[in-house]
Amino acid sequence: MDTRISPVRERVERVREALAHHGAHAVLVPSADPHLSEYLPGRWQGREWLSGFTGSMGTLVITRTQAALFADSRYWVQAERELEGSGIALVKIPTGAATHHIDWLARETPRGAQVVADGQVLGLAAAQALRAALDGAGVVLRTNLDVLADVWPDRPGLPAATVYAHAAPEAVEPRSARLARVREAVARHGASHHFVSTVDDIAWITNLRGGDVDYNPVFLAHLLIDATRATLYVGAGKVPAALAAQLQADGITLADYGAAAAALAALPAGSTLLVDPRRITLGFREQVAAGVRVIEAINPSTLFKSRKGAAEAGFIRAAMEEDGAAMCHFYAWFEAALERGERISELIIDEHLSAERARRPGFKGLSFSTIAGFNANGALPHYRATPESYAWLEGSGLLLIDSGGQYLGGTTDITRVWPIGEPSAAQKRDFTLVLKAMMALSRVRFPRGTLSPMLDAIARAPLWAEGLDYGHGTGHGVGYFLNVHEGPQSISKAVPEATMAMEPGMITSNEPGLYRPGQWGVRIENLVLNAPVDTPENGAFGEMLEFETLTLCPIDARCIELSLLRADEIAWLNGYHAMVRERLAPKVSGEALAWLERRTAPV
């Protein structure tokens, strides 16, 4: 018996029994929690528990007769494998933001029937779109029922990790100053109160960090701010007494995590509440009394934290040097081990690379689960080796390693591809085209305020010219010892919005790719910082920005087909490698230094 598939079928049937009991036709299970986080605490990993699909994004729909998982191209191969035999159909969608599940529900649900979605984990903007579509189809949306409570007997409880302060010198601005900045922005909106549920915003405002969510140093909490007070709704006992006293002195009072909804319901009539419709759930929005005016706009803290100041940029550069030094030590070991004929698996790569990072000053943990994919596994953008399923590095091919670390002074995210044996001509061509794409974006200049999705085509152009493309975005924002995926900027095919304007101090990934399913994958990723640049026109046409490349690690020239590179591209690569060598050489010695010098030699 397949012990993975049989529980999934059993759980889906349990859901159908619950739907029948409640008189509903279908249930929508998003990948979400009450904070609309990307990485979910165990208590809200219901979509994974029900379906067996372990990808970080996806939406599950179960009806009385059907079950479907909606996932974008990053997960198609993984989802097909994990859903096999489960009775759950994979519906392929173009992007993670696509809403095909809404149209599917409106089409597949009989008129007058009920669709259930837990309003406590359903985003307000998502709920508005869902309700509009279902209303148009004559379908009733019910949001006051959590079906998981009926069918998940051993559901995990709330996480209990201790909250701690992100302190100076890496915390460059006191929390009192951050609260003041947020209050000024709230006042400009004409609001008297502001409710924040997203854990990265709360961590940034309060200069606090935690361990409630894998890879992101955040904690579960809600925050209610008015003109004179701020209340942090957090689990009892999670904040040590000394830290609670510091918070009190800075004007932040602690309250029970479960009391946030009641606090919203108790807002006085005539007050005005600012909420971000994409970062608050329907459940919390529905708590607000009719006598309270609600303004919907992006959280001010989301914009503030995306723009790193000069001091933060300095700490980030230092973190990149530590991260780069860790990779020098790892890759020196790795190549020497291969030369000695040692057997190396994807799991061993993860273990050794993580251990090298853990030795660096300021390291606090990984920023996401390491992706080490050899050949066909590298063609899965969100692949992760597990003890149950992994590959050994046997034969020739390409090894893709996407990894990152959390440091007190910054968050890193880097992807490199390495040859195992002799890469083929086709592999070298793919690698070089992706390198051209990455360099094209690295070298671009653009007016301040350019909407970030407008830059996406610059990276894709070298691939498009050859009839090639990739299914994921080119770049995501990155936090400062916070979430590795951070908005509002996104270099992708997303519909441009005013909040996506590129501003000085933003950090974004630059990671074009190319994937041959069942064969190999190539992705080359650096983090880049928006930096002002002087031009010959001296600002006559507005302020211009360029990208400062932050990531420090060689790009393996053995995978390059030099005939495909122009002279200016070769010059950029040699200049980048010279910078990497200059910055990292003081941090490494012995075999790691020799490896660094070998891999940064001019081409």
The per-residue pLDDT for range 134-153, each reduced to its tens digit, is: 999 999 999 999 999 999 99
Query: Residue range 482-496: average pLDDT?
Result: 94
Query: Residue range 452-468: average pLDDT?
Result: 98
Other Cβ atoms less than 10 A from the Cβ of 494: the count is 16
- Report the C-alpha gap between 332 and 535 in whole angstroms: 41
Tell me the whole-structure pTM to 2 decimals: 0.92
Query: Residue range 332-339: average pLDDT?
Result: 96
Query: Given this model, what pLDDT does residue 535 score?
Result: 84
Query: Given this model, what pLDDT does residue 56 score?
Result: 83
Sign of CA dihedral 415, 418, 424, 429: positive
CB 289 within 8 A of CB 270: no
**Ramachandran sector of residue 19 (left: φ over 0; alpha: ψ -120 to 50; beta: rest):** alpha
Query: Given this model, what pLDDT does residue 4 score?
Result: 47
Query: What tens digit of pLDDT does each residue of 170-194 get?
Result: 999 999 999 999 999 999 999 999 9
Query: What tens digit of pLDDT does each residue of 526-574 get?
Result: 999 999 998 887 777 889 999 999 999 999 999 999 999 999 999 999 9
Residue 3 has pLDDT above 70, yes or no: no
Query: Given this model, what pLDDT does residue 267 score?
Result: 97
Q: Which of 77, 93, 86 is nearest to 47 (CA)?
A: 86
Q: At what angle do helices 100-108 and 124-136 cross, to 10 degrees?
A: 30
Tokens of 123: 């985003």
DSSP state of 603: -
- Report the C-alpha gap between 52 and 80 in whole angstroms: 11
The three-class DSSP label of residue 583 is: helix
CB 419 within 8 A of CB 559: yes
CB 118 within 8 A of CB 142: no
CB 207 within 8 A of CB 239: no
Residue 324 has pLDDT above 80, yes or no: yes
Beta bridge partners of 72: 93
Long-range pairs, 234-243, Cβ under 8 A, ≥24:
234/163, 235/158, 235/160, 237/160, 238/160, 238/161, 238/162, 238/163, 238/210, 239/162, 239/163, 239/208, 240/162, 240/163, 240/164, 243/163, 243/164, 243/165, 243/208
Residue 472 has pLDDT above 50, yes or no: yes
The two beta strands, 293-296 and 272-275, are parallel
Q: Which residues contact 507 (CB under 8 A, 6 or more apart)?
A: 308, 316, 477, 478, 480, 527, 528, 529, 530, 550
Query: Given this model, what pLDDT does residue 584 score?
Result: 98
Tokens of 273: 């509440």
CA 355 to chain CA centroid, nearest Å: 23
- Report the C-alpha gap between 233 and 29 in whole angstroms: 26
pLDDT-above-90 percentage for the chain: 91
Sign of CA dihedral 373, 379, 381, 384: negative
pLDDT band, residue 78 (cuts 50/70/90): confident
Query: What tens digit of pLDDT does each residue of 42-61 get?
Result: 999 999 999 999 988 899 99
Residue count of the chain, please give it: 603
Query: Given this model, what pLDDT does residue 249 score?
Result: 96
pLDDT band, residue 99 (cuts 50/70/90): confident
pLDDT-above-70 percentage for the chain: 99
Tokens of 357: 């990072």
CB 478 within 8 A of CB 486: yes
Q: Which amino acid is at 335?
A: E
- Report the C-alpha gap between 260 and 196 in whole angstroms: 10
Residue 442 has pLDDT above 50, yes or no: yes
CB 322 within 8 A of CB 363: yes
Work out the mean pLDDT of the chain and round it to a whole number. 95
For residues 306, 312, 313, 317, the Cα torsion angle rounded to the nearest 10 degrees is -120
Q: Which amino acid is at 446?
A: F
Helix ranges, 158-297 (H) = 175-188, 199-206, 241-249, 260-265, 282-285
- Report the C-alpha gap between 94 and 33 in whole angstroms: 23
Consecutive H or E run containing 21: helix 5-22
All structural domains of the chain: 5-151 (3.40.350.10), 164-305 (3.40.350.10), 364-580 (3.90.230.10)
Q: Which amino acid is at 158?
A: L
Least confident among 116-120, 290-294, 387-391: 387-391
Place of tokens 């400009």: 188
CB 25 within 8 A of CB 54: no
Query: Residue range 197-208: average pLDDT?
Result: 98
Beta bridge partners of 222: 233
Q: Which of 409, 405, 414, 389 is nearest to 528 (CA)?
A: 414
Residue 27 has pLDDT above 80, yes or no: yes
The two beta strands, 26-29 and 114-117, are parallel
Query: What tens digit of pLDDT does each residue of 400-427 get?
Result: 999 999 999 999 999 999 999 999 999 9
Query: Given this model, what pLDDT does residue 384 score?
Result: 87
Residue 5 has pLDDT above 70, yes or no: no
Query: What tens digit of pLDDT does each residue of 377-393 get?
Result: 999 888 888 888 899 99
- Report the C-alpha gap between 241 and 227 in whole angstroms: 25
Query: Given this model, what pLDDT does residue 75 score?
Result: 86
Q: Which of 279, 202, 210 is nearest to 35 (CA)?
A: 279
pLDDT band, residue 1 (cuts 50/70/90): very low
